Amino acid sequence: MSDLLDRLRDRGWRLTSQRRVVAEVLDGDHVHLTADEVHARAAERLPEISRATVYNTLGELVTLGEILEVATDGRAKRYDPNAHRPHQHLVCFACGTIRDVHPTGDPLAALPAAERFGFTITAAEVTYRGLCADCVRRSG
Amino acid sequence: MSDLLDRLRDRGWRLTSQRRVVAEVLDGDHVHLTADEVHARAAERLPEISRATVYNTLGELVTLGEILEVATDGRAKRYDPNAHRPHQHLVCFACGTIRDVHPTGDPLAALPAAERFGFTITAAEVTYRGLCADCVRRSG
DNA sequence: TTCTTGACTTAGACTGTGTCTATCTTAGGA
DNA sequence: TCCTAAGATAGACACAGTCTAAGTCAAGAA
């Protein structure tokens, strides 16, 4: 993840210990943490870090395109460090687990011009929903 | 919309004036109101209706499959009375306008078995995002 | 028609998530 | 090393939604 820190420094990001631990917490490609989870993990290394700083830093990383904001339910947003490879999400109804998935084709192509109502469309997000194997087993 | 009220009565729904006005507010196929907007419109006809009742009633209608809950951003959920015709949503980045759209094909078919990770998948929601014609004009 | 009862409604407290403000601290250039 | 604007902090605030305890009423029974 030092390449993330390098990229940020190259863009003139002032590197503080708080920003460093937030970036480190988001290291790895298969986590989808809430802001509070990021805060809790960051606080293990830097106990005095504040919630506001975590929110600010996450917001900046989203603006810079280094992480994605994912709102799969009405609850807390989740932050996805896998921003450089296009993907969609698969969410378990029961336990809320999120997996990155890679459908074939471009979902945008499925929307005919007549269904675009003059919009300039730039993104198509797909959320697949179901029960994960563990929750199927558990529920019978 | 009296067919909605009929369907609800058939399912043993106790019909109160509060539930009636909430159902009436949701009449029509192209509204996507927040709970607070539903409450405001319901209160025009029944000023003493409480927020809790609106939330309860919306939740019941969702459970019964009569309306859909739509969470297109991290903000308030919206309620979509167009639950009986499958469709997806097109959302304007700038003004938040939501339109129902009908893409071709089944988005579920685009997800290969190898990308399903043992999930029993039952739904695929697609959110198209872009700028509506009005906001394109305004911004540039 | 009136009575009865449990389902429904209410006000308002409470929770979780996120934002804002005023003040203090500090990274990094001079 | 010093300066200063960018960043961090605590805590108040805002919004969306849930919960609780007490009061009300729709609809079946008599």
Q: Which structural domain, as residue segments, surrounds residue A47?
A: 2-80
Same domain, B7 and B76: yes
Measured in angstroms, what separates residue A47's CA from nucleotide D3's C1'?
29
Same domain, B52 and B117: no
Same domain, B61 and B40: yes
Same domain, A59 and A17: yes
Residue B114 has pLDDT above 90, yes or no: yes
**pLDDT tens digit sequence for A105-115:** 999 999 999 99
Using CA atoms, how far apart are residues B45 and A10, in angstroms rounded to an integer? 59
**pLDDT tens digit sequence for A31-69:** 899 999 999 999 999 999 999 999 999 999 999 999 999
Measured in angstroms, what separates residue B36's CA from nucleotide C12's C1'?
17
Last residue of a domain, one of A80, A103, A119: A80
Using CA atoms, how far apart are residues B67 and B29, in angstroms rounded to an integer? 10
The 8 Å CB, 24+ separation contacts for A33-42 are A33/A78, A33/A79, A34/A75, A34/A76, A34/A77, A34/A78, A34/A79, A35/A76, A35/A77, A35/A79, A36/A76, A38/A79, A42/A18
Q: Which nucleotide is nearest to B78 (CA to C1')?
A: D16
Which bases of chain C are under 7 A from a protein CB atom? 7-12, 16-21, 26-28
Provide the pLDDT confidence category of residue A28 given band limits of 50, 70 and 90: low
Return the residue matching tokens 């759209």.
B101
**pLDDT tens digit sequence for B20-60:** 999 999 986 668 999 999 999 999 999 999 999 999 999 99
Last residue of a domain, one of A31, A47, A80: A80
Same domain, B74 and B99: no
Residue A129 has pLDDT above 60, yes or no: yes
Same domain, B62 and B116: no
Q: Which secondary structure element, helix H or strand E, spans residue A80, and what is its range?
A: strand A78-80
> Are residues A102 and B118, on separate chains, in Cβ contact within 8 Å?
no
**pLDDT tens digit sequence for A88-126:** 999 998 888 899 999 999 999 999 999 999 999 999 999
Nearest to A95 by CA among B134, B119, B100: B119
**In percent, how much of chain B has pLDDT > 70?**
96
How is A11-75 classified by DSSP, letter by letter? TT----HHHHHHHHHT-SSS--EEHHHHHHHHHHHSTT--HHHHHHHHHHHHHTTSSEEE--SSS
How many structural domains does chain B have?
A: 2
**pLDDT tens digit sequence for B82-96:** 998 899 999 998 888
> Strand D: which residues 18-47 of A lie within 7 A (CB)?
18-19, 46
Using CA atoms, how far apart are residues B49 and B1, in angstroms rounded to an integer? 20
Using CA atoms, how far apart are residues A88 and A104, in angstroms rounded to an integer? 11
Confirm or reject contact between B103 and chain A (CB < 8 A).
yes
Give me the CATH number covering residue A122: 3.30.1490.190
Using CA atoms, how far apart are residues A104 and B101, in angstroms rounded to an integer? 21
> Are residues A124 and B128, on separate chains, in Cβ contact within 8 Å?
yes
Same domain, A114 and A65: no
Same domain, B105 and B126: yes
Give me the CATH number covering residue A32: 1.10.10.10
Contacts of A77 in chain B (CB under 8 A): 74
B9 touches strand C (CB under 7 A): no
Last residue of a domain, one of A80, A101, A131: A80
Over residues A18-30, the mean pLDDT reads 87
Same domain, A23 and A71: yes
Residue B126 has pLDDT above 70, yes or no: yes
Same domain, A11 and A52: yes
User: What per-residue confidence (pLDDT) applies to B140?
Assistant: 66
Same domain, B99 and B47: no
Same domain, B49 and B97: no
